[in-house]
Structure 1
Amino acid sequence: MDAEELAARWRERLESWAIPDEILAQAPVDPWSHSPERFGTRTDRALSEPDEGPTMTRLSEALPEKGILLDVGSGTGAASLPLHERIGHLHAVDASSSMLEGLTVRADKLGVPVTTIVGRWPDVAHQVPVADVAIAAHVVYNVPDLAGFLRALDGHTQGRVVLELPHRHPMSWMTPLWQHFHGVDRPVRPIAEDCVALAAALGFAVRVEEREAPLERFTSLADLAASVCRRVCLDPARAEEVAETVLELGMWPVPRDRWVTVWWD
């Protein structure tokens, strides 16, 4: 298939992850929201325990000393701030101002000059200068127009573009819980190979590396249960029931993801 067909298929498959309206209407909180505090904890861990995996390796070897780094879907900076000693200026894009506030606090402590842009990529791409290297980590499963996203990322980077994503949709592991609590089956696609195929069809000379995720998804069963209540649209008061169900279904501990690093120059 050509790029247009692959892009349409990506969009259709991603849209199939929409939560049924009748379930979403009963959700106590937004099931798609993210916690800046949880992201901040991950960033602090990334700073204190340097990761020598392929994503950081490919970023570090391509970023010139005191170069310009673009971080799209930056969160609190877990994929960019570990390179603080090499960064001359960081441009961080995220739809959440709270996430960017957390990134700015950490960047200031590390002495990293940073410009933050609140918004979705590529809607705010015109506010960003051309960078030496760009990173978009754990973002693409939130991007319906992936072709436009990748083209804009490449167009704003004079050097290397790096993507990091789990092999499967990050919510895939909860499929048995959706079936248990709501009788709903969740989709299987898109997966990382679909992103790689589209990037290649767009003409990018993609290279791919894969590894086991360096971090456990949850540090405790209680953390898992609280997250499931949010993601599966359940009242937080059912956390104990969720924990018991997870154990009954043999889902604890949660296996680590496979993370995929996609890059091109």
Structure 2
Amino acid sequence: MEERETPEELDERWRADLSEWGIPAGIAAGARSDPWGHSPARFGERTDRALADPEGPTLARVAEALPPGGSVLDVGAGTGAASLPLARLGELVAVDTSAAMLAELETRARRLGVPVRPVVGRWPDVAGETPAADVAVAAHVVYNVPDLAAFLTALTGHVRRRVVLELTHRHPMSWLGPLWARFHGLIRPERPGAGDVAELARRLGYGVRQEERPAPLPRFASLEEMAESACRRLCLDPGRAEEVVAAAVELDMWPVLRDRWVTLWWDVE
């Protein structure tokens, strides 16, 4: 990146790079289900694993800045994997575009005795109706955010102590690149990545620190699970799952390599 690039230029670069991940209309027309969709049940399983074994730098960076009985703003909260495992959590403000995801989160929060204030909507559109908190976390969200500077600025303005982000080192759909080329002749982008997020945050004036590690779990438990996901993401008929399995084996894509997860954080002065 050029040293002279302004936050506005970096933000525009991020937006342009992210737009390249769009699925061409002709391919999307063949989709049997939302190729970008996520299952609340599967997210719930991830949260249950996190509750059973809380670990990792993201939780640690949130926890060390959280006062006893403090509040957390979880943006893109899903079912709560990045916030509900916190031991000293006094209140959780959970923002997500999916009411179904938030319902799963609230069910688990009730069992834990954690007060939750759910906010259905997209950040920062709902920032005006969202209370401030001690710490904010946004885990595996930013690759869905075209206006990243506004997202980070609103997040930082809503906390008293710290902002923590968790994201994959590269776009989370990058693993599908060889299959996109095989089935659609489409070459997927290489950017944006975690380094772009960190650089933009620094240019916005935040004292960014970071830590990286392998993803704690494999992406898929079986070839069949991988093929089912790939068919949905590639807008292929589910009946072509065996073709996907064969292609993945031929292309030496199985087992799918683990992502690298990056934790970025900065303190609010």
1:2 to partner: Cα distance: 1.0
Q: Which residue of 1 aligns with 2:164?
A: 162
Distance 2:104 2:231 in 1: 25
Q: Which runs of 5+ in 2 are unaligned?
A: none
Show CA shifts across 1:137-191 (max 9, x none). Answer: 0000000000000000000011100000000000001000000000000000001
- Which of 74, 86, 91 lines up with 1:71 in the alignment? 74
Q: Which residue of 2 aligns with 1:217?
A: 219
What amino acid maps onto 1:43 in structure 2? T
Q: Which residue of 1 aligns with 2:248?
A: 246
User: Secondary structure of 2:190's match?
Assistant: coil
Distance 1:22 1:9 in 2: 26
User: Secondary structure of 2:8's match?
Assistant: helix
1:127 to partner: Cα distance: 1.2
Distance 1:59 1:240 in 2: 43
1:129 to partner: Cα distance: 1.1
What amino acid maps onto 2:225 in structure 1? D
What aligned pairs does 1:13-162 form with structure 2 within 5 A after superposition? 13-51=17-55, 53-83=56-86, 85-162=87-164
Higher mean C-alpha deviation, range 168-177 or range 239-248: 239-248
User: Secondary structure of 2:240's match?
Assistant: helix
TM-score by length of 1: 0.98
Show CA shifts across 1:17-58 (max 9, x none). Answer: 01011001111111011111110110111111221x211110
**2:11 is the alignment partner of 1:7:** yes
Q: RMSD across aligned C-alpha pairs, in angstroms?
A: 0.6
Distance 1:92 1:130 in 2: 11
Q: Which runs of 5+ in 1 are unaligned?
A: none
1:128 to partner: Cα distance: 1.1
Distance 1:216 1:63 in 2: 30
* Deviant stretches of 4+, over 3 Å: none
What amino acid maps onto 1:5 in structure 2? E
What amino acid maps onto 2:40 in structure 1? P
Distance 2:181 2:226 in 1: 17
1:65 to partner: Cα distance: 0.6
1:241 to partner: Cα distance: 1.4
What amino acid maps onto 2:51 in structure 1? L
What amino acid maps onto 2:57 in structure 1? P
Give identity over the alignment, percent.
64
1:244 to partner: Cα distance: 1.4
Q: Which residue of 1 aligns with 2:232?
A: 230
